[in-house]
Amino acid sequence: MKRSPVAELFPEAFLSELTPKEGEVVANPARQEEPVLEFEEGLRKSFEAMRECLPKDGRLTVMFTHRELRAWDTLVRALRDAGFRVNAAWPVHTEAQWSLYQRDKAAARYTLILACDPWEGDGEV
Domain that holds residue 53: 33-118
Q: Supply the Cα-derived Rg of the chain in whole angstroms.
A: 17
Give the total number of structural domains in the chain: 1
Any domain includes 11: no
Q: What are phi and psi of 114, to 5 degrees?
A: -110, 135
Helix (H, G, I), strand (E, B) or coil at 10: coil
Per-residue pLDDT band for 53 (boundaries 50, 70, 90) equals: very high
CATH number of the domain encompassing residue 98: 3.40.50.150
pLDDT digits (tens, 9 = 90+) for 24-38: 888 888 888 998 899
Higher-pLDDT residue of 28 and 102 is: 28
Any domain includes 20: no
DSSP string, 38-99: HHHHHHHHHHHHHHHHS-TT--EEEEEE-S-HHHHHHHHHHHHHTTEEEEEEEEEE-S-TT-
Any domain includes 77: yes
Any domain includes 26: no
pLDDT digits (tens, 9 = 90+) for 109-124: 678 899 999 987 755 5
Any domain includes 70: yes
The pTM assigned to this predicted structure is 0.71
Any domain includes 27: no
Any domain includes 12: no
Contact 67, 107 (CB under 8 A): yes
Any domain includes 9: no
